Structure 1
Amino acid sequence: MTWQVLSGLLAVVPLGMMPAAHAESNMPVLEQAASSDDIPIYTPPKKFTPRARVGGSLRGTEGSDPEIVALVPDHVGLTVKQNPVLNWFLSKPTTYPLRFTLSDTRAVKPIYEGPVPAPTQPGIQSLDLKKLGLTLEPDIQYRWYISAIRNADSPSNDIVAGGVIERCEFSACLVETSVNLTCDRQSVQRNAVKGFWYDAMACLCTLIDASPTDAPLRRMRAALLKQVGLHGVAEWDLQSLSKASR
């Protein structure tokens, strides 16, 4: 989707009026309960701006078009990192060109707009801003989008998902919130409860990529996703683990 169309969408649908995500899915959840001590609890930041997510529901994967979901809360999510990793979901492989857009909410034109390599497998994907040479300034809100281009001549038909991210100034995060800079199960829990959604989710996805059949890790991710209303993606993720374990 071109930046002009995205700007038009935001002009028509203000931040506080974007449709809330009501993810629906008929897929069964695994009948395995994680220990309550293992479940990360996400606490939204005090500076709470609702309805910041674009897209967000998983309606079903039987159609011809892929579905894209940004793995973000429906408000401005926080990170402590200058070059965070963004996570998103693709329901099926696609031949549509994919594009990533990053914009400073204070500016008209995007900071970056470029192609994204098409994943060969469906599921949860990662996009590392460091590899793109992108750095977030502290205390500034940035919008980001993943778009599937269905028709280059008709940008309004693009499939779009995205969210809003803000970086906490490093020294303030360390002093005021004791953000955890390591990546393990404990840091996922601590960063989630401190409100650092992007850092908790990116670390959890990294751990799962290293151990894709680790059921407790998958249940931790599903719990976080459900806490921000992304039930369909959480259940898809758990079901894919169930199939892989057979």
Structure 2
Amino acid sequence: MHIKLILSTTLLWSLTSFAAATAGYVPPASQEPPSDYSRSTGIRSGCLNQDESDTLIILAPQSYVGETISARPQFIWLMSIPSEIEFRLFEFTANGQVKQKGKPILLKSTAGINTLSLPNEQPSLTVGNKYLWQVAQRCPNGNNILERAEFKVVARPSSFNPNLNPKEKIEQYAQKGFWYDALSESLLVSSSGKLGELGSHLISSLAQSENPSDTSTLSNNQQIIILKRIESLEEISSNWR
């Protein structure tokens, strides 16, 4: 059975109408596909039982490699229930392998939007290098949940204007494809644990960008995973505003 990945007419209308007032996130022009390390993240049940919806989802591009201009980016995810999580960061080597950077970080994750900046004791990330971050939720039933995303650190454009208000700054990041910087900036003007209006629109834009234009090379399982992620992101955009 072939599964066609499309956003609904209603969803596209809502995205378009809101974008008329506020520019959304535009992914990098060259959308590099993720490696097999990230593609291994698949469909899984919730933490408590098989019928529960996702309790953990990374708020970053997963169907392609995201970008940031920060040497110490902020990593952001959503938890629907409080839980203990383990964070790990990896760097890709020249031969395409990954090596862990620093030690795993254990922390209590609250219900809502959670953030973690690269600790000061860890070296800054390098412009031009690609990285993978991973969040693992420890479930009481042993059915742990794992989410991964890949990103690159790129140089700051010389055309960037530093003298902008918060909304303009967010749009500047978003329009240039710097997802991590745009979402991180948007949370500065939102309530704790929430996305806020600007962050919510960024998540909707992200959902739209995760919808591939060509599904011919994807397996049925991969298509299901992507479609489920798009639906989850749209729910997050609405429910955690």
TM tier, shorter chain?
Answer: 0.5 to 0.7
- 1:223 aligns to what? 204
Aligned length: 202
1:19-98 maps to which residues of 2 (within 5 A)? Answer: 34=18, 36-46=20-30, 48-51=31-34, 53=38, 55=41, 63=49, 67-73=55-61, 74-94=63-83, 97-98=84-85
CA contact (8 A) 1:61 1:91 kept: no
- Match in the other structure for 1:148: 137
Q: In the TM superposition, what whole-angstrom CA distance separates every residue of 1:175-217 from its partner, at most 9, and x where no partner exists? A: 3xx3455671112112111111111111112222369595x32
Q: Which runs of 5+ in 2 are unaligned?
A: 211-229
Could you say what secondary structure the match of 1:135 adopts? Answer: coil
Paired residues for 1:190-229 under 5 Å: 190-209=172-191, 214=196, 216-229=197-210
Normalized per residue, the structure richer in strand is 2
Q: Percent identity?
A: 20
Contact 1:40 1:193 (C-alpha < 8 Å) held by counterparts: yes
Q: How does 1:127-206 map to 2 (within 5 A)?
A: 127-131=116-120, 133-150=122-139, 157-169=143-155, 173-175=156-158, 178-179=159-160, 184-206=166-188
Cα contact 1:23–1:57 (8 A) shared by 2: no
Amino acid at match of 1:124: I
Counterpart contact for 1:58–1:69, Cα < 8 Å: no
- Which residue of 102, 108, 111 maps to 1:112? 102
Matched-pair contact (CA < 8 Å) for 1:72–1:228: no
Residue 100 (1) aligns with residue 83 (2): no
Deviation at 1:129, TM superposition (A): 0.8
3-state SS in 2 of match to 1:113: strand
* Gap regions ≥5 residues in structure 1: 1-21, 242-246
CA distance 1:60–1:210, change in 2 (3 Å): closer
The alignment's TM-score, normalised by the length of structure 1, stands at: 0.66
Kept after mapping to 1: 8 A contact 2:133/2:148: yes
Q: Distance in 2 between matches of 1:212 and 1:88?
A: 11
Q: Considering only aligned residues, what root-mean-square deviation do their CA atoms show, in Å?
A: 3.7
1:36–1:148 CA distance, 2 compared to 1 (3 A):
same
